[in-house]
Amino acid sequence: MFQESDLATLRTLVHGTVSSPGDPGYAIDTSGYNPSMVQRPDATLGAAGVEDIQNAIRWAAQREIPLGIQATGHGAAALMDCGLLINTSRLQDIVVDPEADTVTVGPGVRWGQVLEEIVPEGFTGPHGSSGTVGTVGYVSGGGLPLMGRALGFASDHVFSLDVVTADGRLRRLESGNADDAELFAALRGGKGNFGVITSMTLALTGFTDFYGGGIMYPQDAGPEVLHAFREWTSQLPPDASASLAFLHLPDVPFLPEPLRGTAPVHLRFGKFGSQETGDALLEPMRHLSSPIMDTAGPMDYRAVGSIHMDPDDPVPALDRGSLLSDLSGPLADELLNQVGPGSESPLMMTEIRLMGGMLAADPPVPDAVSGRGAGFHLYSVGLNVPPAADATAAALEQLNTAIEPYTAGALVNLQGPSGGDPDRHPAWEPEVFRRLQAAKTTYDPQNLFRFGHAVPMSQVQAEPT
């Protein structure tokens, strides 16, 4: 906790609004996509520009006040209960350079906004399944794109970025530049533990046609569909993306009415190319059971977020993710036991996503991304409000224990709440973790940035187990 006089000083240093609990700006700055993960800092700053961020960091460093960073709130992983939260959601610049095949974005820009700008120019980017996710926060955690098998991890596309480090200095980092190379690597997969990214330039990919959508199957078709999915994904070309989700949907207003209270199995698919190619690849899965919905076909790429049907509005949720070496028969059977027909699982969704393709390629320059050798990724989510919260937590723990023999680490953006220190380690291999610790020591020796999925200063001299 700091004094009101400290806040008065901060207000003289910034153009944005400094808010305390009870102020209107405080509620705006602390809210995010997950209402069950609302931050409770001592104060917030709604940054109006880069200078605000620099001055706030210097102000905090002089007083040893811890800092948190938030834009969209999608990445909230641990509750902030002290310090200053810098909200960057107002920094909304988007600049497309068609000649350089790049887009430059501010930290408050969401992926849906980026697609609206780049798709008319004939480009796509390494976005995720939801258009409401913040571009910069997503990429700083590596970013698993919806079309990752064709494009690779989002962080592979970073051309340059501007970051304010804990000394208040604004640094320009560029791919292939030896200056601050360890920091450039840490900010591409290591999340926000090292500074505040104020601008990011991403390389774009040209495309013409896109085929995507999904097929819904009835709940009792789960075993047939999952085992067919195992065989089918082994034969897909490396640039085709696919996932399968077991849904247990509550009867709640934020879901489309036809899906409320149902438990379908949802196949998701995407491929750059013609309808003829897409139809041919999807044909084996179209002949399974009796699909209750089929939305796959040519589509406007700006609507790509509809494939996974992620909700746009905030949802109080608890989640957990793990990388899988493969989708073996025994693992498939265990998943059916946990979330398949008759399981009565309280989890709203358990998704099995195919990895490989360009996701397995080496990065163009060193980074901090995990998962390049994984065959699949498993992600589960449930409601985190009473009375469902306890059942969700128990089901996630039970599922995690059951699949533990098959797991191969985690992706930091999707591993769930940071919890204790052991929960962070699976997101980074030991050598990567050591590099992150070294970067932390160099660029934030006071441990100002300590919230969320961060390398804790208390472990900077320790090695993960």
pLDDT in tens, 9-31: 999 999 999 999 999 999 999 99
Q: Are 206 and 86 in contact (CB under 8 A)?
A: no
pLDDT digits (tens, 9 = 90+) for 267-322: 999 999 999 999 999 999 999 988 999 999 999 999 999 999 998 888 899 999 99
Q: Tell whether the model's pLDDT for residue 192 goes beyond 90.
A: no
Q: In degrees rounded to 5, what are phi and psi of residue 183?
A: -70, -40
232: part of which helix (H) or strand (E)? Answer: helix 222-233
Distance between CA atoms of residues 228 and 315, nearest Å: 32
- Name 272's bridge partners: 210
pLDDT digits (tens, 9 = 90+) for 209-252: 999 999 999 999 999 999 999 999 999 999 999 999 999 988 87
pLDDT digits (tens, 9 = 90+) for 377-430: 999 999 999 999 999 999 999 999 999 999 999 999 998 875 444 445 678 988
Count of all residues that appear for the chain in the document: 465
What is the model's pLDDT at position 460?
A: 41
C-alpha dist (Å) from residue 381 to 95, 138, 297, 331, 354: 34, 18, 28, 19, 18
- Cα 268 from chain centroid (whole Å): 18
Tell me the domains of the chain and their CATH numbers: 4-87 (3.30.43.10), 94-206 (3.30.465.10), 210-414 (3.40.462.20)
Distance between CA atoms of residues 412 and 143, nearest Å: 9
Distance between CA atoms of residues 414 and 319, nearest Å: 8
pTM score of the predicted model: 0.95
Q: Are 416 and 317 in contact (CB under 8 A)?
A: no
Q: Tell whether the model's pLDDT for residue 352 goes beyond 70.
A: yes
> What letter represents residue 178's amino acid?
A
3-state secondary structure of 426: helix
Instruction: Report the chain's mean pLDDT, rounded to a whole number.
Output: 93
Region at 142 (left for phi over 0; alpha for psi -120 to 50; beta for the rest): left
